[in-house]
Structure 1
Amino acid sequence: MSSETIGPAPWMTLPKTQAVIAALEARGGPGCARFVGGCVRNTLMGKPIDDIDIATTLTPDAVIAALEQAGLRAIPTGIDHGTVTALSAGRPYEITTLRKDVETDGRRAVVAFTDDWSEDAQRRDFRFNTLYVDAEGRLYDPTGEGVSDARDGKVVFVGDPMTRIREDYLRILRFFRFQAWYGRGEADPAALAACEALRDRLLGGTAERLQKELMKMLAAEDPRSAFRLMAATGVLPTILPSVESLARFEALVAIETEQLFEIDPVLRLAALIPDDAEAAGRLAERLRLPNAVRDRVVEAVGQEPRIVSWMSPREARRAVYALGQGAFSDRIKLAWAGSGRDSTAPQWRALLALAETWTPPAFPLSGEEILKAGVPKGPMVGEVRREIELWWIDQDFIEDKFSAIERLKAVAQGMVY
């Protein structure tokens, strides 16, 4: 046990949190439950707390019984691996029984429950993720290095990196993800060497798990150095062979930082690949991207209409109408990132402002009005509508409906049925 304490941290003193701990200790006695992982690590690093995870010596059945006895909802979210989710005042708490690995194959593990905190720590990935804190705020550091790693921003595997990665090959991406979020200074050489040596094993994993890790990495405030490391070790081309350069990606991250844009993991993903819709489609298939994410990435890397910083307001409005505001904004940011961002920043900002403030108007003519002009039912209605729409766009979306109707009459009268 470390001589340090971190409590009582605000998240520990929440009544909903204390209710969960009280329920577990009522069943297993004081000290049977400790906070673990990210909530402890982030508290030491001065970073925000998202999830509150708890480790316990109680078996899953005992956890469920303890929660129900206290009037809390228990959800067996990963019961085979010892995980039960407690809902306390609407907040989820993931509670996992102490475990040790019985068998691993790099994809999944067979575990046995234990009451040994050290055994539980030894099966975890990184030393700063093995930290425990009890209800009184006392800090436990089983490896003796977790506290210093957290404070120094060092991402170091528990024990031998090759062994940890062979237990779960996705830990290669987890290493780079944690490096992106928490790493400071030089990355651990032994970890990098192990990731490089075992990188090909990533290809046998599920696309969904790979995608999840990648998107979390892209959501870090500044993942550029982590992606450079992935490229240098050959991990990046192994999982994303379409990536040819990091230049546009790095420029986009810089623009987001400089312009105070929100972090956009999906657009960062698009920035990694060439402006090629087919390449984007292959990427989407490789990562099993959700349909909405796939469609956005494909649209973002499209090449028509061409986006340039010197577009006139009229040309920009035509592009917004053709693409939609979201896709136009995505293409502006990608074009900005790929163009040498400093010299043309005012022009790009002006185009983004237009996209955000100009709402494309609705086409002023209805199908019924086209029929009334004498156009027969059938495909001709669509042809006439498209011809009038092209004229309307060329007139910079003229708001004079009378002019549109007059144009319709002229087109209808000139048609040969």
Structure 2
Amino acid sequence: MTLPSADWMERRGLAALIAALDGGARFVGGAVRDTLLGLEVKDVDIATPLLPEDVMERLTAASIKVVPTGIAHGTVTAVLPDGPVEITTLRRDVSTDGRRATVAFSDDWKEDAARRDFTINALSADPDTLEIFDYFGGLEDLQRLQIRFIGSPAERIAEDHLRIMRYFRFQARFGKQQVDEEAYAACSKAAAKLETLSRERIADELLKLLQTEDPRSAVLQMIDAGIMSHIVEQIDEDSATLFSRIVQREQRLHFAPTAIRRLVALLPKDADKASEIAKSLKLSKKQQKAIGERLLPSLDGDNIAPADIRAFAYHTNVDAARDVAILFANDETFPDMLARLQDWQPPVFPLTGGALIEQGLKPGPVVARTLAKIEAAWIAQGFQDEQWIREFVADLKLAG
């Protein structure tokens, strides 16, 4: 079987890179898998039996910029006009501890493929003939959309505990068959090993999983297997129900999936506890802020009123308000809340402290307090125009 031609094969500089490696290269991993599935290919990876120093010499001689991004593990990166290409020397594992591997370089393609996690990720293709090499039944699994570990699931997980999460992410993205019982059992048994990994790696995989089109089945399986509790503390049946509901809403309304929105559904509905988990996952400050905005304690689940949603958007942003509606509004109020946000942008409060001073208010803390009082009234009245502001200020009799 040969790999179908695809646009990514025409990237500028790729042909020159292949030529510089002089027949000692294959396309590997996601580029092969996604091309066979008719999906867009973003990252192109190449494997070669050439040693990394030899790869760098050849590319430099061909005037191709190359960076030793992971040379100790055999990886260098060619900087091409249409994007970087990673080139990795064939490897075999010498030892593993579930977090990292000690490797030795190899010239055996099957030995290198055996290091990969799933059969569908172990495919490779000759860049000249496009012949596909499949050592572990990956083509059949890809046709069936079956996610299967290479060899023993327990052994593959023992090599890298993050494969527990990768299994369910790939199941969510590609799997159309039921979860393999042996794989499920191995993932469940090793779940506690996730706590030995860096939280950054855990968070990265979690967000990738939540970003898939429909992760409901995979997430619920992880909850049932006791895996998710090692990632998100205090997860319960209510969180699982809410998670399923918001994915259904997204699909019904054709909303693009958002990992943070979906993560909020799984977190405790207490801003402080959710914040602790977000920090423990080493999420960025921007992501932590987004979670906090969606779990403000002033909002009380199904009691959110449609009339309040614009005020919430004013204090945060429209995206956060829309997410709050998707997450917490009940079925009766949900359409009204979305309608109030449709094509609406929070206005700018049309009054300053300087204007109050000009009208007779003495400078000092009273200016800020009065401004806040007027702004609160303005919001409560539905963001009235400047005439309303002038009349309201006049009624306060600031000079008096």
- Three-state SS of the structure 2 residue aligned to 1:46 is coil
1:17 partnered with 2:24: no
Counterpart position of 1:411: 396
Contact (CA 8 Å) 2:162, 2:194: kept in 1 or not? yes
- C-alpha distance in structure 1 between counterparts of 2:176 and 2:301, whole Å: 37
Counterpart position of 1:384: 370
CA positional deviation for 1:311: 3.8
CA positional deviation for 1:207: 0.4
1:247 partnered with 2:247: no
Number of aligned residue pairs: 397
1:79 partnered with 2:59: no
AA paired with 1:227? V
- C-alpha distance in structure 2 between counterparts of 1:103 and 1:310, whole Å: 54
1:352 to 331, 335, 338: 338
- Three-state SS of the structure 1 residue aligned to 2:9 is coil
1:235 partnered with 2:200: no
User: Which TM-score applies when normalising by structure 2?
Assistant: 0.93
1:293 to 284, 287, 298: 287
Q: Deviations over 1:184-218 (max 9, x none)?
A: 11111111111111111110100000000011111
- C-alpha distance in structure 1 between counterparts of 2:349 and 2:304, whole Å: 27
Counterpart position of 2:108: 116
Match runs of 1:169-180 below 5 Å? 169-180=161-172
Identity %: 39
**Cα RMSD for the two superposed structures:** 2.0
Counterpart position of 2:189: 197
- C-alpha distance in structure 2 between counterparts of 1:116 and 1:292, whole Å: 44
- C-alpha distance in structure 2 between counterparts of 1:376 and 1:242, whole Å: 52
CA positional deviation for 1:310: 8.5
- Three-state SS of the structure 2 residue aligned to 1:77 is strand
Change (3 A) 1:348 1:22: same
- C-alpha distance in structure 2 between counterparts of 1:353 and 1:106, whole Å: 49
- C-alpha distance in structure 2 between counterparts of 1:301 and 1:211, whole Å: 19
Contact (CA 8 Å) 1:16, 1:91: kept in 2 or not? no
CA positional deviation for 1:279: 2.2
- Three-state SS of the structure 1 residue aligned to 2:142 is helix
Counterpart position of 1:283: 277
CA positional deviation for 1:243: 1.6
User: More displaced, 118-127 or 200-209?
Assistant: 118-127
Counterpart position of 2:133: 140
CA positional deviation for 1:306: 4.8
Counterpart position of 1:218: 210
Counterpart position of 1:363: 349
- C-alpha distance in structure 1 between counterparts of 2:79 and 2:5, whole Å: 22
CA positional deviation for 1:125: 1.0
CA positional deviation for 1:296: 0.7
Change (3 A) 1:382 1:157: same
Unaligned runs of 5+ in 2: none
CA positional deviation for 1:321: 2.4
Counterpart position of 1:375: 361
Q: Deviations over 1:248-287 (max 9, x none)?
A: 1111111111111111111011111232101210220221
Change (3 A) 1:159 1:362: same
AA paired with 2:389? A
- Three-state SS of the structure 2 residue aligned to 1:11 is helix
Q: Deviations over 1:305-332 (max 9, x none)?
A: 45768845x5443333233322211110
- C-alpha distance in structure 1 between counterparts of 2:119 and 2:159, whole Å: 16
Change (3 A) 1:202 1:359: same
